[in-house]
Amino acid sequence: MGAGMAARLLAAGHEVRVFNRSPEKTAALVAAGALLADSPRAAAEGVEAVFSMVADDAASRAVWLGDTGALATTAPGAFAVECSTLSRAWVLELADHAAAQGFRYVDCPVTALPDAAAAGRLTLFVGAATDRLAEVRPLLEPLCDNIVRFGEIGAGTSYKLIQNLLGSIQIAATAEALRTAELAGLDLATVVDTLGRGGAASPTVIRASRRMLDGHYDRDVAFTAALRLKDTRIGVEAADSVGAPAALGRAARELLTGPVDAGHGDLDETVVFDLLHD
C-alpha cells in the first residue's frame, strides 16, 4: 500500500523520500526518482508532509518516535499523516506527540487494496479539523478518488475499525457458509457464483468466497491473515471502549485466530476456510 501511495506522490511531481525496514522493497520507487533514506528521521527532515503506512501500533511507534523517528526532525508545521490501521488509543497518543513537536497531525486511514493504491483510487477516512483537511487536501488528492471526513482526530480511525470489523465478520461467516455448503454436498463453484449474485453478496463476500474457492492462499496476497486478526482485535477493543455490543466481532476474532496460531499468518486472510476442514 505504501509503495503505491509513494508512487502516486512521485507521479504528481512531489519530491519523495522513502524509508522501509526492508530497503530492497523501495527499489522500484528509487528507480522512479524517490530518494532512499536510512531512517524515518532522515526521510522526514525539512519536508512538507510525512506519510506513514505500516502494519500495526508497534511499527507506527518505531516510525514516529525515538531518536531516529520522524518526529525527531526539524520540520515545523509539517503534516504528520498516519494512514495505517491502528488502535484509536495510539492514534490519540500519537497526535499529542506530533503536536508537541510542532507537526500538524492528520488521522487518515485508507481503504482499498494495493492495486487501488497504485492507481490513486483509495478512499481516505479523515479525522481532522475542517481547516486542516483543507490545507492538506492537495497532498491527499493524488492518492484517492474519495475523501470522507468523519470528525476530529480519532474519528477516521474509529470508522476504519468499524468497517474492518464488519469485514472480518463477513469473512468468517463466508468461510462457515462455504464449509456448510460442502458438507451438504453442494457444488462449491455453483455456490460461490450464486452467492455473488444474491442478496447476501457484498464486495467482501464476493472477493473472499472466490479466494476460498481458488484455494491458493500463498499467491497474490493482498491482505494477510495476521493483519486481518490484528484489525479484528483492535476493532473489538474499540467497540468495548464505547460500550458497544461486539458478540459477532468476538466470534470472528476467535475463528480468525486459527490461521495465525497454525503458523499461516503470512498467507491470505481467506486461509481461514481451510482450517474449517480440520
Distance CA 265, CA 213 (A): 19
Distance CA 214, CA 175 (A): 13
| Crossing angle for the helix pair 155-183 and 88-100, to the nearest 10 degrees | 150
Tally of CA atoms within 13 A in the half-sphere of 64 that contains its CB: 31
What residues have CB less than 8 Å from 39, skipping those under 6 apart?
19, 68
Among 82, 87, 56, residue whose Cα is nearest residue 265:
56
Q: Name the residue type at position 125.
A: F
Distance CA 89, CA 165 (A): 17
Residue 169 has which C-alpha cell?
Answer: 465478520
* Residues designated catalytic: 160
Backbone torsions φ then ψ of 21, nearest 5 degrees: -60, -20
Q: What is the dihedral sign for C-alpha 167, 173, 176, 181?
A: negative
Q: How far is CA 140 from the centre of its chain?
A: 16
